[in-house]
Structure 1
Amino acid sequence: MTRVIHTGQALVDVVIEVPDLPERGQNVMATSVTDYAGGAVTVLVAAARSGARCVHAGAHGTGPHGDLVRQALAAEGVELSAPPISGHDTGICVVLIEPSAERTFVTTLGAEREITSESLATSAPEPGDLVCVTGFSLALEQTGKPLLAWLRTLDAGVVVVLDPGSAFAGLSPHVRTEMLALTDVWSSNLEEAADILGTPEADDLAAVTAAVAPLLRGDAITIVRDGAAGCAVLVDGEAVLVPGFPQTPLDTNGAGDTHTGALLAEVAAGTPWVEGCRRANAAAAIKVTRRGPATAPTAAEVDAFLAEQA
């Protein structure tokens, strides 16, 4: 079976709901705080709940945060290919959620950054496997250098999926160029795609999606999301708009990762890209109505949701 393998950081999201962000130097009283396994966990949980066989190839620590990550992945049947980092715990991401569901992040560095080309290789990708890379792994030499070195060794049949994140556009031109030359699938939001193109005011989803493709290798697939509006996907040179399913959001943290995970699970199962995007749009729409990052729906829940929309 085709696998979804994630190389990125599995963190613990400390999610704090606030009535508003405080002014600089000021204080605000939170209405709730909860610890969730997040980061790469969100993608892998979404993929696993949509039926994919999943592997986390990244690093994880041996303290309570690492324990939480392992428990969350084990609960979904996600494999861990590399052993824990002894004596060092996984880092956290503080997530401030406003009533509008907008979120603000502060991320620490922990054991999840202690990867090597050898530790990534424990996932042993085979042709057809989908290997996920996040731009945040490339933001530090500590993780970017071994990751790029390992990616260069992969069989040409392994599909490399890049989620650039907000970090990618700010990387050195050399790192960006090398990563793009290794990328078979691009999956980002509209702002991230516009940033890499140098057109921050871009609002034509199909045009932006098509413009990203020439930056990648071969006949790359490009997916660009635009929140509740849905996404566009470029397949065989044609950009197709796939409408979303607007919801009243409760928590948007993890919506993009849920979309990516659900989409890759569909593709791994042989679903065409456009139909996979429709189902991923539905999965993300369900997720934003739930608190917590790794709260993706199951395939059956997506089926029921789409039946209601018909």
Structure 2
Amino acid sequence: MTARLVHTGNVVVDVVMYLPGLPEPGGDVLATESRITAGGGLNVMVAAARQGLPSGYAGMHGTGPFGELARRQLAEAGIEIVQPRLADRDTGFSVVMVDPGGERTFATSPGAEARLGPADLARIELRPGDLVYVSGYSLAYPVNGPALARWLPTLDAGITVVVDPGPLVTQIPQPVLAPALARADWWSCNEREAGLLTGLGDPAAAAAALATRTGRAGVLVRTGPDGAVLVEGDRPPVIVPAFPVTVVDTNGAGDAHVGAFAAALARGLDPADAVRRANAAAALAVTRRGPATAPTADEVDILLATAPVD
């Protein structure tokens, strides 16, 4: 059977605004461009699918205009929907403000996706070779987090678990964070999140410290224009350089990275090669506006073949 990425996180609707600058407290600013589109977990699944890894959305979705938009875009991307819709609430949304440098700032209103409970997780039928993706947003939610903390330790050892703690990492309760760290085969986060988890400012040192807490395959710390730090088990950190590009929009860059990394692992690539492929996918993603801007496998192949070798 073909391996899949089974995403237990959160597809939300992104209300994206491109701004000349963030407003001051109490102020306002006119957007130069805006769009409303499904985002969040959709970006990871689209990134994986464009690299050849089929994806299934095992998170929750709601009843209402945002839920309809999310399901429509999931279907358009060829992503399987595992759970039934919730009847009593709509899918949540994020307001995404993008400044001229491409940096984005979020404010999120949770909805149906924050209601993933034990019965919903029991509905997921995993197959040999599947990769399970866990989002830090889910771990921080009062319903999803405890349910995932009980479910993750029950997974077969042959199932690869990829955890991305996300920007809410400090809001994940310790009783939820500990089992997520323990079961994660791959812990993928950015340098800010790694620093918050470890108290260490150096990404390589933070990655090494995290690797002592995961207990499985390894840790990946994304360092933006510098690339990423890879630590496998007790081996020394390895710096995998980035691909220089002109940044237009960083929204979804981390999602493109982790989706491409998961797809590369599913293909059997060595972790360092998988990170290099993920770096290339993220580099291409930030050259485009929009959340689901992950490149195709052919586009990544071209960049890898033409980029200078250090």
Contact kept? 1:15, 1:34, Cα under 8 Å: yes
> Could you tell me how far 1:98 is from its partner in structure 2?
0.5
Aligned residue type for 2:108: T
Indicate the residue corresponding to 2:254 in structure 1. Answer: 256
In structure 1, the partner of 2:121 is: 120
Give yes or no for contact 1:6–1:133 (8 Å, CA) kept in 2.
Answer: yes
Q: 1:179 to 1:236 in 2, by over 3 A?
A: closer
Residue 222 of structure 1: aligned partner: 219
Residue of structure 2 equivalent to 1:67: 68
2:301 counterpart residue number? 303
Match of 1:91 in 2: 92
Contact 1:228 1:245 in 2 (8 A): yes
SS in 1 for 2:289: coil
**1:223-255, Cα deviation, whole Å (9 max, x unpaired):** 011001100112253222110012111110110
Query: Aligned in 2, Cα 1:127/1:237: closer, same or farther, shift over 3 Å?
Result: farther
Runs (5+) with no aligned partner, structure 2: none
Corresponding residue of 1:207 = 205
2:21 aligns with 20
CA shift, 1:139, in A, is 1.4
- What percent identity do the matched residue pairs reach? 48
Q: 1:174 aligned to 2:171?
A: no
How far is the alpha carbon of 1:88 from its aligned partner? 2.3
Q: For 2:49, what is the secondary structure of its paired residue?
A: helix
Contact 1:36 1:294 in 2 (8 A): no
Query: Following TM superposition, by how much is the alpha carbon of 1:87 offset from its aligned partner in structure 2, in angstroms?
Result: 4.2
Q: Are the counterparts in 1 of residues 153 and 179 from structure 2 also a CA contact under 8 Å?
A: no
- Partner SS state of residue 66, structure 1: helix
Runs of 4+ with deviation above 3 angstroms: none
The answer to whether the 8 Å contact 1:49/1:76 transfers is no
1:62 and 1:147 map into 2 onto residues whose CA distance is 23
Q: Which residue is 1:140 aligned to?
A: 141
Aligned-residue offset at 1:140: 2.2
Show the counterpart of 2:195. Answer: 194
> Alignment RMSD, CA only?
1.5
Q: Structure 2: which amino acid aligns with 1:80?
A: I
Alignment check: 8 A CA contact 1:10 1:58 kept: yes
- When the two structures are aligned, how many residues end up with a matched partner? 306
Cα shift readout 1:71-109 (whole Å, capped 9, x = no counterpart):
222222211111111242211100001101111111001
List per-residue Cα deviations over 1:114-162 (Å, max 9, x = no partner): 2122222333123432111111112121221222222232212212211
Contact kept? 1:2, 1:269, Cα under 8 Å? no
Asked if structure 2 preserves the Cα contact closer than 8 Å seen for 1:82 and 1:120, the reply is no
- Which residue, out of 238, 244, 259, partners 2:242? 244
Which secondary structure state, in structure 1, belongs to the residue aligned with residue 280 of structure 2?
Answer: helix
Deviation at 1:113, TM superposition (A): 1.4
Distance, in Å, in 2 between the alignment partners of 1:54 and 1:281 is 20
**Is the CA contact (8 Å cut-off) linking 1:126 and 1:155 kept in structure 2?**
no
Structure-1 separation of matches of 2:112 and 2:256: 24
Q: Is residue 10–residue 59 contact of structure 2 (8 Å, CA) maintained in 1?
A: yes
Indicate whether 1:232 and 2:229 are aligned: yes
Q: What residue ranges of structure 1 are gaps of 5+ in the alignment? A: none
C-alpha spacing 1:166/1:5, structure 2 compared with 1 (3 Å): same
Alpha-carbon offset, residue 165 of structure 1: 1.1
Counterpart of 1:271, as a letter, is L
* 1:270 matched to 2:271: no
Q: Conserved in 1, the CA contact under 8 Å of 2:91 and 2:111?
A: yes
Q: Which shows bigger deviation, 145-154 or 182-191?
A: 145-154
| Secondary structure of 1:152 counterpart | helix
How far is the alpha carbon of 1:299 from its aligned partner?
A: 0.1
Conserved in 1, the CA contact under 8 Å of 2:116 and 2:147? yes
> What is the TM-score with the length of structure 2 in the denominator?
0.94
Distance in 2 between residues matched to 1:122 and 1:172, nearest whole Å: 25
Shift of 1:43: 0.4
CA distance, structure 2, for counterparts of residue 119 and residue 305 of structure 1? 40
Contact 1:127 / 1:159 at 8 angstroms: preserved in 2?
no
Cα distance in 2 for residues equivalent to 1:121 and 1:298: 33
Matched AA of 2:42:
V
